[in-house]
Amino acid sequence: MTQDQQLTTRKRIIFFGIASGMIALLLAFFALGIYEFYKIKQEAINKLESQTDMLVFGVGPALMFGDKDAANTTLESLRNDRSIYRVRIYNTHGQEFTSFIAVDQDGDVHFKKDIIYRNEKIGRFEIDAKYMGLVDRIRNYIIIVLIIFILSIPITFVLSAPLRNQVSTAVKQLSETTVSLERSNRELETLLYIVSHDLKEPLRSIEYFSTSLKEDHFDKLDDKARDYFSRVITAASRMRLLLDDILMMSRARRMKAPDEMVNGEALVNEALARLEGKIKQVDAKITIAQKFPVYKVERVWATQAILNLIANALKFTKEGEAPIIEISPYSQNGQIGIMVSDRGPGVPQGFTKKIFELFQRAVDRKVEGTGAGLAIVLEVAHRHNGDAWVQPREGGGSDFIITFAKE
């Protein structure tokens, strides 16, 4: 991690701290605002109920005797109350008897009450009012929040200094560790490449001279010597396969980023074309689904991974039975990929993850291979931000799945 990246990380931490404080203040402001709104509303309703009771008591006799002047005198007492917009008094027939209008518009609160005089309804009282103080209180809250927010910036900056120093140290250590790890990985990959590539030359000599000796002098050797020669040739052949797989794994770890949109059917067909001879040899029956999605992949390595899965299905079959393989698209839980299903003996319990490790196998060495094929499949999947796994297939066999990042 460069110094510029470290500086950017520290700035982000400071910004995150300030933003968190601001969000907390805003949430507190909204919570208080909602609380005050309902509180003021209830206060206004309670106040109106009290005022209405007093007005009804004063207006009742005037309404009873049709004295509008007395009613108006009572209503004039509302003129100094800025929360009252409009008051209307109706008689028993629903006709307006008199009114008081400070502002001719509907208020925030519309309140009605029957006018009872000597246990008899003689009219109706209606009042419109607004919530007084809400705007003022909200304005005060905004001012308080702004003051607190402005003061919180330097306070947060000062208080976060120890944390920023710790984070800076941690980021620096992480950067150094990352650089060291990347260097070690490069050195390891270089070593793997050199070992797998350069050891092939002496190995070819061992294979060549062992085979020549066997062809020219095999008949002159006793049974024990013949067995030794056969073991040397077999071991050299296996060593060559191991070196080939190490070289392929090294190359897989250095593959370029996926950059090509390829139809899944094209990937499957390329893999099958490369396995055509083996498919005919074992008389395999292969079924391919009709439609595949388009994947964003590194074409060569995606094809190699699918080839490895199909080759695996061709090798592991029930004794005396030809391989039966189905290849289909996979899409589940936001993952897309390709599934290769077989009717083989299945994977023993406890080996479903182990078989994807380098040179790990669930069978003995009588079956051809080194155990690197599925490890390469998993490596390719990870390089595509995907995954690879095996699951039991209903009716027997296994489903091998590789997924790629969803575009």
Looking at residue 147, its amino acid is: I
The encoded tokens of residue 82 equal 């800025």
Alpha carbon separation from 404 to 41, 58, 181, 299 (Å, rounded): 58, 83, 26, 12
Which of 5-14, 55-64, 132-141, 236-245 shows the lowest per-residue confidence on average (mean pLDDT)? 5-14
Q: Say which residues have a Cβ less than 8 Å from residue 28's Cβ, sequence separation at least 6.
A: 145
Higher pLDDT, 112 or 294: 294
At residue 196 the predicted structure's pLDDT band, cuts being 50, 70 and 90, is: low
Question: What is the average pLDDT score of the chain?
Answer: 80
Q: Could you report the per-residue pLDDT of 256-270, keeping only the tens digit for each? A: 888 899 999 999 999
Position 230 scores a pLDDT of 81
Q: Could you report the per-residue pLDDT of 199-254, keeping only the tens digit for each? A: 777 777 887 787 787 777 777 778 888 788 788 888 888 787 777 777 777 777 77
Gap between the Cα atoms of 381 and 305, Å rounded:
8
First and final C-alpha spacing in the chain:
28
Alpha carbon separation from 326 to 52, 183, 263, 284, 398 (Å, rounded): 83, 42, 18, 11, 11
Position 42 scores a pLDDT of 75
Q: Could you report the per-residue pLDDT of 128-145, keeping only the tens digit for each? A: 887 665 566 667 767 776
Question: What would you report as the CA-atom Rg of the chain, rounded to the nearest whole angstrom?
Answer: 43
